[in-house]
Amino acid sequence: MTNRWTLPLRGAHNPSTLKQGTTPGSFANAPDVGGPLAFSSPDTPGMPAPSQKTAWDFLPEGWTRSKETGFAIAPKGFVPITQLEHARLGTITPQMLRVAEREPHLTAETVRDEIAAGRMIIPANTVHLAHKLDPMAIGRATRTKINANLGASPVSSGTDEEVEKMRWSVKWGADTVMDLSTGGDIDACRDAIVKNSTVPIGTVPIYSMIIGRKIEDLTLDVILESLRHQAAQGVDYFTIHAGVRRAHLKFVQQRLIGIVSRGGSLLAKWMLVHGKESPMYEHFEAICDVMREYDVSFSLGDGLRPGGLADATDAAQLAELETLGELTERAWRRGCQVMVEGPGHVPFDQIELNMKLQRTLCHGAPFYVLGPLVTDVFPGYDHITSCIGATAAAYHGASMLCYVTPKEHVGLPKKDDVKQGCIAYKIAAHAADVALGIPGARDWDDELTKARAALNWEKHFDLAFDGEYARALHDEDLDVDTDFCAMCGHDWCSVRISKEIVEFTSGKDAEYARDKAIKSAALTEEQQQMLQARGVLSPDEIHKLASKTKKVVDAEVGKGLCHSDFVEPDTAKRIQKDRLVQIRVKDDSAAAE
C-alpha cells in the first residue's frame, strides 16, 4: 500500500548510505556538486537565482583557460602558492587529498574543481601547515562547519587559558577557531594558539592594529605590516572589513543599534575623522598581495551586520553585501581564497533571502554566518536563539556557522560556555547536513536509533555526541541498564513493549542486541561535576554512584540482572520500586513541604 503523503522527493541524495529507515530521501534539491546549487534547499518563490559566474570569470590578468583541459594557463614563470592557484592550474594538492579523505562523499578532483570555481576554500596558511594543521574545507559541497571564537579581553583571561580553550573547543567539535583577543599579550597568545592548533585559526587583524594607537592614526603601512606579521605567524584566515564604505554610513542612522561589529565601527570612525574612503577598501589589492604570499584566506567581514532584528536586511547591510561581492571578484583576480561573512540578528523568515542573496552577489563563495539570532529577548540563552537561525542558514546556503555561546552580549565565554556553544552549533550543522541529503550524513543518527531501539544503553552513550553527559543524566535516576529508563518506567516503556512485539522486529538488530544487563560504571570526575551542578542528587548519592567497585560494575556474566529480555517482570518491577520510585517519592514529598 502506498501512502498519499510520502515526502515529495526532489531527487536529493539519500542521507543514509544504507537505504534503510522510513524516510530514505531528503526534500532538498537534487545534488549539483560542480554546479551552483551543490547541496541546497528548494527556493521559496521570489528568491534570487544563483549567480551564473564563478571564480573562473575572474582570472588574474594575463591568465587564459585551455579549451582542451579546462584548466588555466598562467603567464610564464608564474609560481602558484594558494590552493586556488593550484586548483586553477589543475593540480591536486596534498591538502585537497586530505579533504577528500575526511569527506568521503567528495573526490580529490571534485575538491580541486570546487576550489577553482571559488565555491570551496581550504584555509591553510603555508606556515601553519608546517606545524600541526590538519587541512579541512569550507564550501557548499562539504559538510557544514562550525567556528568557535575565543580570545583574551583586557579584563579577563590569559594565553594559557586561551590555548586551553582552543583545545577544549576542538574537543567539542570546532572545525576552525578564531582568536579575537583584544587584551593581554595578544601576539604571544596568537602565536601559541597557531602552534598548538590542528584546526585553521582566524583573526580580525584590525584589533592588533590599534593596540597602543588611536584608530585615527591607522595608516596603510600599519595595516600591511600587521597583516604580514600575522600571516608569517601562520594565521589561516583574516576577517577584513573592507566592505564598509563611506557611502554606506548614512544608512546606519536609521538603525536601532547602529554598528555592532568592532571592526566596522572602528573603520567607520576612521572614515568620518578623515573624510575619506576606507583604506581597507581603497588598498584592497595591496592587502590581497600580502595574503596571497602565505595563502591566508579572506573572510570578508560584515562590518555592517544587523545587531537586532529591527536592523536586519536593511539598506546598510545589503549595500555592504554588494560591496563584498565586488571584493570577492577582486580577491579572486589576485589568486586569493575567499569566504564571506554574514549576519547577525535576522528574523527567521528573512534567513533564506539573506543566504540566497549572498549566493547571487558573491558568485557562490562560501558564506560564513554568525548565528543568526532569531529573537533578541533571551540573553543568557543566545546559543539557542542563534542555533535555530544557524540551522536555517546552513540549510539555505551557509557553509560555516560561527558559534554563539550563552555569554553572548553579556560577558566573556568561559570553558563551559564554549562547550555549550559548540554543541548547539554541531546540532545546527548536523541537522542541516541531514536535511540537505549529504550522502552518509544520517548514518550516525541511524546507528544511534538502532542502539536506542535495542535498549542498549552502553552503545547509545558510545554513539552520543556527549555520551558522558547523557550517561550521567541517565544514572542520576537509575544506574542500571534496564529495558526502560526513569522517563516512563517498566510498564510504560514503549520501546520495551515494541521489542516484545515480534512482528515489529524493533530493537532486534543483532549488532546492538545486549546479551546481559550491567550496572553502570562508576561516575567519572566530569560526570560527578555535571550531577553536582544540576543539584538533583545529594553529595552522598553522587558519592555512592562514583565509588562502585569493579565487581559491582562488571556484574554477573550470563543471565541479566534486570534486562527485560532476561528477567521476570516481577524482578524488573522490584528494581523499579527499589531504585527508581524511591527517588521520585523523596522528590515529591520535598516538593509538597
Binding site for ligand SF4 (CB under 6 A): 484-485, 487-488, 493-496
**207/484 with CB nearer ligand SF4:** 484
Q: At its nearest, how many Å lie between ligand SF4 and the CB of residue 473?
A: 12
8 A C-beta contact, residue 410 and residue 379 = yes
Q: At its nearest, how many Å lie between ligand SF4 and the CB of residue 580?
A: 10
**265/482 with CB nearer ligand SF4:** 482
> Which one-letter DSSP state was computed for residue 114?
H
- Measure the CA–CA gap between 382 and 414, rounded to whole angstroms: 15
Q: At its nearest, how many Å lie between ligand SF4 and the CB of residue 166?
A: 37
**286/495 with CB nearer ligand SF4:** 495
8 A C-beta contact, residue 165 and residue 415 = yes
* Side chain identity at residue 18, one-letter code: L
Tell me the C-alpha to C-alpha distance, in Å, between residue 397 and each of 11, 22, 175, 376, 400.
Answer: 18, 27, 18, 23, 9
* Side chain identity at residue 29, one-letter code: N
- Measure the CA–CA gap between 379 and 382, rounded to whole angstroms: 6
Q: At its nearest, how many Å lie between ligand SF4 and the CB of residue 455?
A: 6
**219/494 with CB nearer ligand SF4:** 494
Tell me the C-alpha to C-alpha distance, in Å, between residue 27 and each of 6, 13, 56, 155, 365.
Answer: 11, 9, 31, 48, 24
**69/494 with CB nearer ligand SF4:** 494
Q: At its nearest, how many Å lie between ligand SF4 and the CB of residue 457?
A: 9
- Measure the CA–CA gap between 236 and 241, rounded to whole angstroms: 16
Q: At its nearest, how many Å lie between ligand SF4 and the CB of residue 487?
A: 3
Neighbours of 587 (CB within 10 A): 11
**39/484 with CB nearer ligand SF4:** 484
Total count of residues recorded for the chain: 593
- Cα torsion 122, 127, 128, 131 to 10°: value is 140
Nearest alpha-carbon partner for 54 in 75, 74, 76, 32: 32
Q: At its nearest, how many Å lie between ligand SF4 and the CB of residue 477?
A: 10
Q: At its nearest, how many Å lie between ligand SF4 and the CB of residue 486?
A: 7
**245/496 with CB nearer ligand SF4:** 496
Strands (E), 271-366: 297-300, 338-342
**442/460 with CB nearer ligand SF4:** 460
